Amino acid sequence: MQFDEVVQKAVEGTQGAVAGLLMGTDGISLAHYVKPDAGLEMEVVGVEYASLLGEVRKVSEILESGEVREVTVSTDKYVVIVRAITPEYFLALALSPNGNIGKGRFLLRVQSPEIRKEL
């Protein structure tokens, strides 16, 4: 499996998506794809969200709500979807606020088992 292809497919397959990556929770990227006109540094975004995912996991542990599957953050400029793949890796997709969030979530979810097998 080409991780780069998976990430690119998720970006290209989601209307309004501008960038995506597969990253370790240590902030080291395994694969990323950024549309030419994206106007954001996806790896920088990923590093911040890697750290945020750690915070979300702490909250989930405190509340005994089990494993964190997904985190979606909507801001004025972007929507970022983070899908936990394993405890060590996650997929992230950045979309414009009017992008198809449902499609993005779907693509990350269905690709997770495939990627998990390879990690």
Beta bridge pairs of residue 42: none
Please, which residue, 64 or 117, has the CB nearer to a second copy?
A: 64
Minimum CB separation of residue 57 from a second copy in Å reads 9
13-72 residues in contact with a second copy (CB under 8 A) are: 40, 44-45, 48-49, 51-52, 55-56, 59-60, 62-72
Please select the residue that binds a second copy; options are 1, 5, 12, 73, rule is CB under 8 A: 73
Give the angle subtended at the CA of 111 by the CAs of 106 and 39, to the nearest 5°: 70
2 contacts a second copy (rule: CB under 8 A):
no
Please, which residue, 4 or 60, has the CB nearer to a second copy?
A: 60
Q: Which residues contact 1 (CB under 8 A, 6 or more apart)?
A: 114, 115, 118
Interaction mask 85-104, a second copy, x per CB under 8 A: -----------------x--
Closest CA to 25 of 85, 75, 78: 85
Please, which residue, 4 or 47, has the CB nearer to a second copy?
A: 47
Q: Tell me the C-alpha distance between 79 and 87, whole Å.
A: 23
Tokens 């690709």 correspond to 111
Q: Tell me the C-alpha distance between 77 and 61, whole Å.
A: 30
The site for a second copy (CB under 8 A) is made up of 40, 44-45, 48-49, 51-52, 55-56, 59-60, 62-78, 102
